[in-house]
Amino acid sequence: MNEKLKVKIGNTEFATPVIAASGTFGFGIEYADIVNLDDFGAIVTKGLSLLPKEGNPPPRIVETPCGLINSIGLANPGTDEFIKNYEETYRVFPTHVIVNVGAETENEFLSVIKKIEHMNILGYELNISCPNVETGGMMFSEDPNTAFALVKKVRKATEKLLITKLSPNFCNIRELARASEDAGSDAISLVNTFLGMSIDIETGYSRIGKPFGGFSGPAIKPMALKMVYEAARTVNIPVIGMGGINSGSDAIEFFMAGASMIQVGSAIFRNPQIAFDINNFIEQYLDRKGLSNVSEIIGTFKGSKNE
């Protein structure tokens, strides 16, 4: 891989700044026959909970003119089965593995991490968009204080890379970013999906198995880009940007807004080779601009010409 693409978060070097987002890449091996896994600097697994989850009732995904609405419900095999199926695989995996952890209580987050801490994984991405049953179902991301308390406890439980994934739906993104940094996150990733709906006008029912779900795809990019810009100006830890990234040009925008790395999600369904394409675009862009590394793009947004 081109040296120009290498980036670092803390003491960890990544061969490329492109990460496969949680929920779109399974546990990695599902794509091994159709993509070069080392085109990704890392993959984030689908969300993992302590016990197996069947997920939400179907239909779970509906396509809209400008993106996808999903209501998967954190369907996953549970931690014990995850260890059984992937412990040996990850010993020789061609790129970094980050496990996305989703749970309903602080203790469940800690239990998952304790069980898999021995595995050959780089670290964890905390999905704080999960409902906290200890606060009546309020999501961890709805209150910066609740998010802070969770991240702080997880930080004490592991020395591996800790990324907190921020939701755009409930509170000021700057406050949530600052709380995550103060609690000990090594990096933050944003944004998770926006809440969205799709209604079948013939039946009057939702087109997915729940009234609403997570909306992703090209339509959310402008909003995600703004939130990444705001978060990057708030914290001193690396920001991993995501939301509607479909091309190398999109990736460059996120870098300019302040992201140190980017995640691609829904675009993988349309183009499994998206990481390869983005890497090529970045290399060509750097050559054209006379730059030696992708880090030289980060935070170079100049604002409005009228300012």
Catalytic residues: 130
225 close to 238: Cβ distance less than 8 angstroms: no
CA 207 to chain centre: 25
Distance between CA 44 and CA 73 in Å, rounded?
17
Contacts of 37 (CB under 8 A, 6+ apart): 28, 31, 43, 93, 94, 95
Nearest to 74, CA basis, from 151, 8, 22, 19: 22
Nearest to 96, CA basis, from 57, 65, 123, 125: 123
CA 116 to chain centre: 19
162 close to 200: Cβ distance less than 8 angstroms: no
Length of the chain: 307
Q: Token digits for 231?
A: 């978060």
83 close to 116: Cβ distance less than 8 angstroms: yes
